[in-house]
Copies of this chain bind each other. A is one copy, B any other.
Amino acid sequence: MRALAELFGCEPSEEAVFAHRRATDPDAYAATLLRATGTEWLLIDDGFPAPGEGVAWEAMGDLAGCRSAPVMRIERVGEEGLAAGDELDALRERVRDAVAAARASGFVGLKTVAAYRSGLDVQPPDAAAADAVLADAPRRLAGKALLEVLLDDALAANAATGEPLPVQVHCGFGDSDLFLPRADPTLLGPLIERYATTPFVLLHCYPFVRQAGWLAHVYGNVFLDVSLTIPHVWRHAEMVREALELAPASKLLYASDAARTPELYFLAARGWRAALAEVLAEALEPEEAEAAARRILRGNAIALYGLDRR
């Protein structure tokens, strides 16, 4: 509240901040917060808020005064197939085709929320079991066998392009519709090995930040951002410390996971910068610390998502 009040120039109370919010045009309000972050590129999950709700990725870039690009949520594509009444073969082809065309369609990455649905203990694909899930005509892609078949199809189609897009994987905490023991990123080990040419980006991770850092330490194709963790967990700096206990600075990426709530963009950017200033200074000489901060806030993402070639 104090940080928001300072930005808005109002009294540092919850009431004053809320009054300011209600008195301001929503787009102008969002734009003020987004522009205060100093963001150059917004990479936006195309599956949340649900298509049709919220602000689409192009408009988000306009509000923020920066470039933007979409990330393809694999479950969003699959659920379009469920809504269309696809049989299994058609559903699988839909996912494979969408992923194969993703880069040409302007996507900078793929994303999966399997942790929310059936867990990160992803089993080898079993088409018969997937068919049995589909027989119940689900609208939400949550049945374990079906999700795993489509996820594997997506990963295979992505790898087959020869220049696979980074795959973001929701790990660790989030809302209550999550069984946390199955959101531990180290469960992904076998998948990470099977798709060794695909960069995986572990999102959020808390309370498994150290586990994610270990994966980034031992696998060349694993990166992490602790996005959601920074605005929500009080101790920003401690989260960055744990992320960097094993992972090198070349593997950590800034992200906010903000959606729906424009304040989170601002608070995440502010929290990350303060945390990096504190933590990197504990371990590095000033010039090294600045270089590492630039990589984490900017350079790693530009290189990983190929943003300099767009």
Contact = CB atoms under 8 A, between A and B. Distances in A.
Contact of A207 (B187, B189, B206, B211): B211
Interface of A: 173, 175-176, 178-181, 184, 186-187, 189-190, 193, 206-207, 210-211, 214, 217-219, 232-235, 238, 241, 244-246, 283
Tell me the number of copies of this protein: 3
Contacts of A219: 176
Contacts of A207: 210-211, 214
A70 B190 CA distance: 34
A168 B234 CA distance: 26
A122 to B, nearest CB: 13
A119 to B, nearest CB: 12
Contacts of A244: 234
Contacts of A189: 176, 178-180
Given A173-B246, A207-B210, 13 more contacts: A173-B214, A175-B218, A179-B189, A180-B186, A181-B184, A181-B186, A181-B187, A207-B211, A217-B232, A234-B244, A234-B245, A235-B245, A238-B241
